[in-house]
Amino acid sequence: MTYLRPLLLLKTRRQRALLACSLGLPLLGCVPDFDDNTSQIETLRVLAIHADPAEPAPGEAVQLVALVASDETESPTTLSWSLCTARRPPTEAGPVAQKCLTDFGSESDALTALGEGENVDLSIPADSCRRFGPLPPPVEGNETVSGQPAAPDQTGGYYQPVVVGFSDEPTAPTLGSVRLLCGGANVPQEELVKFNSGYRPNQNPEVAEVTAQLIDDEGGEGKELDWTDGIVAGAEVDWTIHWAECPEQAECGDGLCTAGENATLCADDCRTEPVVGCTGAETYLLADPVSKTVVEQREDIEVSWYATAGTFDLSTTDNDDVVTSSTNRWVAPTEPGQVKLWFVVRDSRRGTTWKNLTVNVVAE
């Protein structure tokens, strides 16, 4: 797509959202700007879903926890959970079969109810890797031959969709997904062996630290800020989320069972209970369908930023040049008061965690 648009300042006080270009449709025109308000928490919202473990196998138990954000001090509504069992047909766009969202809250053959609450425990269905993974899907209806397996994402992953919504507002559900441990596919047998012996399931990231820097009026280098002491109304603050540094290459004995290691090759790291992976930007093995080989990749980590007041420069950021942190600028509201902030951290393999703060915005 081609378009003409006014100059975009990459860092402005008011966050502006560039529209993602419509791929595949050439166009010459002026794209309008929209204010990106997705960072502002004005109503009850589910911001993230955390799965533990982050990459369960079919039949394995997993706990799902939702991050519910609200500008109210209490959130009395109840969450309802469902498992989406319908695969998206090629005639639809989007990440999931649309009926999993539109049928939520009513009887549907596309959804399996999981229960209610801010978290839910379940066993991953035994056929998940057939419905959403690299195995031939179940034969349905009058068919006698199974269909084409699902395609992986860019990290080689397959996902079980989960839908969660507020019991009293089923029309606005939220989509989550749990990465499935299905094994490799789309590579020759010898590569598959390499993959299966060295692939480590995803580890959810963890927030190691949150730091803040106060930006002075001239916009120069900020000074360390103890936000627990309060933040002046209207101040500009650079928030930085830090996470663990992960080794670039596996090293037996470092206490981390990482890509390429297994219980046979490195019992010290991989026979612990539980097996510990790195909680930062891990390296992982990818069965690359293009080169038909197993390659090692490193995760990217993205942070989504939310607040009940004030504005962030960007709704989402990824890791800085330093791969263990991400920074975003927040302008405190001009009115004093309590402000809640949430920082949702996701890795490329959809492992999720978050950190939330409450800060006091004080008058100047």
Least distance to other proteins from the beta carbon of 354, Å? 10
Least distance to other proteins from the beta carbon of 69, Å? 11
Least distance to other proteins from the beta carbon of 212, Å? 18
103 dihedral zone (left: phi>0; alpha: psi -120 to 50; beta) = alpha
Least distance to other proteins from the beta carbon of 312, Å? 10
Q: Which of 306, 315, 304, 307 is nearest to 347 (CA)?
A: 304
Least distance to other proteins from the beta carbon of 309, Å? 18
Least distance to other proteins from the beta carbon of 174, Å? 5
Q: What is the H or E stretch that residue 49 is in?
A: strand 45-52
Least distance to other proteins from the beta carbon of 229, Å? 28
Tokens of 269: 């790291």
73, 142, 145, 249: which one binds other proteins (CB under 8 A): 145
What's the farthest any 2 CA atoms get from each other in the chain? Answer: 73
Please tell me whether residue 307 binds other proteins under the rule CB under 8 A.
Answer: no
52, 60, 153, 296: which one binds other proteins (CB under 8 A): 153
Residues 213-252 that bind other proteins (CB under 8 A): none
Least distance to other proteins from the beta carbon of 272, Å? 29
Least distance to other proteins from the beta carbon of 133, Å? 12
124/150 with CB nearer other proteins: 150
Instruction: Tell me, residue by residue from 262 to 291, as one string, x for binding to other proteins by CB under 8 A and - for no binding.
Output: ---------------------------xx-
44, 114, 172, 295: which one binds other proteins (CB under 8 A): 172
Please tell me whether residue 152 binds other proteins under the rule CB under 8 A.
Answer: yes
Q: Return the residue matching tokens 């927040």.
A: 330
116-124, 132-140, 242-250, 257-265 -> range binding other proteins (CB under 8 A): 132-140
45/266 with CB nearer other proteins: 45
Residues 9-28 that bind other proteins (CB under 8 A): 10-11, 17-28
313, 331, 341, 359: which one binds other proteins (CB under 8 A): 313
106, 142, 148, 264: which one binds other proteins (CB under 8 A): 148
**Distance between CA atoms of residues 279 and 116, nearest Å:** 29
175/266 with CB nearer other proteins: 175
| Exposure class string for 122-147: b at 16+ Cβ within 10 A, else e | bebbeebbbbbbbbebeeeeeeeeee
User: What is the number of alpha carbons within 13 Å of residue 22 lying toward its C-beta?
Assistant: 8
Q: What is the strand order of the sheet 325-331 is part of? A: 223-225, 207-215, 236-243, 325-331, 311-312
207/265 with CB nearer other proteins: 207
**Distance between CA atoms of residues 155 and 35, nearest Å:** 31
Residues 174-213 that bind other proteins (CB under 8 A): 174-177, 186-189, 192
270 phi and psi angles, rounded to 5 deg = -110, 5
Instruction: Tell me, residue by residue from 75 to 114, as one string, x for binding to other proteins by CB under 8 A and - for no binding.
Output: -----------xxxxxxxxxx-xx--xx------------
Between the CA of residue 314 and those of 111, 235, 245, 323, 327, what are the distances in Å?
A: 34, 17, 24, 18, 10
309, 344, 359, 361: which one binds other proteins (CB under 8 A): 344
Q: How far apart are the two ends of the chain, measured CA to CA in Å?
A: 47
**Distance between CA atoms of residues 335 and 318, nearest Å:** 30
Q: Which of 337, 332, 333, 343 is nearest to 306 (CA)?
A: 343
Please tell me whether residue 52 binds other proteins under the rule CB under 8 A.
Answer: no
**Distance between CA atoms of residues 272 and 266, nearest Å:** 10
Please tell me whether residue 360 binds other proteins under the rule CB under 8 A.
Answer: no
State whether residue 327 is helix, strand or coil. strand
Torsion angle, alpha carbons of 281, 286, 288, 291, to 10? 90
Please tell me whether residue 37 binds other proteins under the rule CB under 8 A.
Answer: yes
